[in-house]
Amino acid sequence: MTKRPDKPITLADVARRAGTSTAVVSYVINNGPRPVAAATRERVLAAAAELHYRPNRIARALRSRTTGVAGLVLADASNPYFGALARHIEQALEKRDRLTLVGNAGYSADRQRDLVARFLAAQVDGLVIVSAEEGGDVAAQAEAAGVSAVYVHHGPPDGHAPVVAADNQTAVHEAVAHLRRHGHRRIAFLAGPHDAGPVGLRRQAWTAALTGDPDAVLLRCDYSRAAADALTRHLIAEGTMPRALITATDEHATGVLSGAWACGLPVPDRLALISLDGTPESAHTAPALTVTQQPLRAMAEQAVELLFGDISRALTAHAPLVIRRSCGCEA
């Protein structure tokens, strides 16, 4: 086994081991700009592996005036929805040979602004912002610094950067229509503490879908499983738990399932439930959640394409209804 040297391995070291020039090694490592014969390419890659060569990002940045690094600001890293979205964004950036720096805003507008400022100071090549509610147009900071930025999931109403989001209106209408096919007429909605961001849009779509229904029940609680669990137990104890419910998030839905189980309320026999996030974990609740599945991979890939100028405008992606057991289907 080749011993790792004390000093960094250079292109010249690889070239000597492979018996070729540093220019050819550079073409192989950087996939261009000139083609290299297959046999020579294999010889260079073998030499690089033997010497444990790693490209010098700083040197590359000086040559290309890019750092090879992109910043990702997450509204809340502890939320499985944002965690799943972050994985897809990181994978899309990796395809562009970009290292991803991730910052957690923790639903704090001040923290979000600070993260953007720090990423810009680190001279990132671009910013993907999964924005916190009421966070202001932090992409304007990037624009002022000449750095591309794009919002995913949510963006400020007065922002200028593109926003990549799913078609929440259609998703909610499909959820309402599905519950009606199960015979439900009074369909409640569980939203957050106030109407903001995508959850606000989902709540508005629910209101529009139930226009003319004076008995439509709007419920609210914090964006946590514990809050939804406590609300569910309270409603069951009061005897006011609805028979059909759409939750704005999977965190809400998981808390509802927990509270219903604790009180002996069967789902879906006594409570039909649909959630509007569709994170991977939603398939593994008991019963499995029927969801309108946010197209996280498509959203992530579109955001990165916008960031690097491959497309000129954001397109609204469909969030399909995924049938499982919680709505009353035998899926």
pLDDT at 64 over 80: no
Q: Would you list the domain boundaries of the chain?
A: 11-55, 67-161, 168-294
Which pair of structure tokens corresponds to residue 2? Answer: 């080749």
Strands in the chain per DSSP E: 69-74, 99-104, 126-129, 148-152, 163-164, 188-191, 218-220, 244-247, 272-275, 290-292, 321-322
Question: Residues 319-323: what's their mean pLDDT?
Answer: 96
Up-side HSE of residue 267: CA atoms within 13 Å toward CB? 30
- Give the pLDDT score at 312: 79
Helical (H) or strand (E) element with 111: helix 109-121
CA dist., res. 121 & res. 124, Å (int): 8
Among candidate residues 208, 209, 105, the one with its CA nearest the CA of residue 151: 105
pLDDT at 4 over 80: no
Q: Which residues contact 3 (CB under 8 A, 6 or more apart)?
A: none
- Sort strands 244-247 and 321-322 into parallel, antiparallel or unpaired: unpaired
| Residues of the chain above pLDDT 70, percent | 92
Which pair of structure tokens corresponds to residue 65? Answer: 């005036």
Total-model pTM:
0.78
Grade residue 316 by pLDDT with cuts at 50, 70 and 90: confident
pLDDT at 313 over 90: no
- Give the pLDDT score at 12: 84
- Give the pLDDT score at 1: 44
pLDDT at 174 over 90: yes
Q: Which residue has the higher pLDDT, 214 or 173?
A: 173
- Give the pLDDT score at 11: 78
Q: ∠ CA(90), CA(92), CA(97), 5° rounding?
A: 85
CA dist., res. 189 & res. 171, Å (int): 14
- Give the pLDDT score at 322: 97
Which pair of structure tokens corresponds to residue 258? Answer: 């927990």
Contact between 288 and 325 under an 8 Å Cβ cutoff? The reply is yes
pLDDT at 39 over 50: yes
CA dist., res. 148 & res. 19, Å (int): 41
Tell me how crowded residue 118 is: count the other CB atoms within 10 A of its CB.
14
Lowest mean pLDDT among 51-65, 254-268, 276-290: 51-65
Q: Which residue has the higher pLDDT, 121 or 10?
A: 121
Question: Residues 65-94: what's their mean pLDDT?
Answer: 91
- Summary mean pLDDT of the chain: 89
Grade residue 62 by pLDDT with cuts at 50, 70 and 90: very low
Question: Residues 108-112: what's their mean pLDDT?
Answer: 91
pLDDT at 5 over 60: no
- Give the pLDDT score at 32: 66
102: helix, strand or coil: strand
Q: Which residues contact 34 (CB under 8 A, 6 or more apart)?
A: 27
The predicted-structure confidence for 182-222, as pLDDT tens digits, reads as follows 999 899 999 999 888 888 899 999 999 988 677 789 999 99
Domain pair 67-161 / 168-294, same fold = yes
Contact between 319 and 166 under an 8 Å Cβ cutoff? The reply is yes
55: helix, strand or coil: coil
CATH of 67-161, one of 3.40.605.10, 3.40.50.2300, 2.40.180.10, 3.20.20.10: 3.40.50.2300
Q: Report phi then psi at 52, rounded to 5.
A: 60, 40
pLDDT at 6 over 70: no
79: helix, strand or coil: coil
Grade residue 13 by pLDDT with cuts at 50, 70 and 90: confident
CATH superfamily of 11-55: lambda repressor-like DNA-binding domains (1.10.260.40)
CA dist., res. 237 & res. 235, Å (int): 5
- Give the pLDDT score at 52: 83
On the question of a cis peptide bond just before residue 8, with omega within 30 degrees of 0, the verdict is no
Any bridge partners for residue 144, and if so which?
none
CA dist., res. 105 & res. 122, Å (int): 17
CA dist., res. 41 & res. 14, Å (int): 12
Grade residue 14 by pLDDT with cuts at 50, 70 and 90: confident
Grade residue 60 by pLDDT with cuts at 50, 70 and 90: low
CA dist., res. 131 & res. 109, Å (int): 9
Contact between 44 and 4 under an 8 Å Cβ cutoff? The reply is no
Up-side HSE of residue 28: CA atoms within 13 Å toward CB? 26
What CATH number has the domain spanning 168-294?
3.40.50.2300
Question: Residues 56-77: what's their mean pLDDT?
Answer: 72
Grade residue 307 by pLDDT with cuts at 50, 70 and 90: very high
The predicted-structure confidence for 122-154, as pLDDT tens digits, reads as follows 889 999 999 866 668 999 999 999 999 999 998
pLDDT at 107 over 80: yes
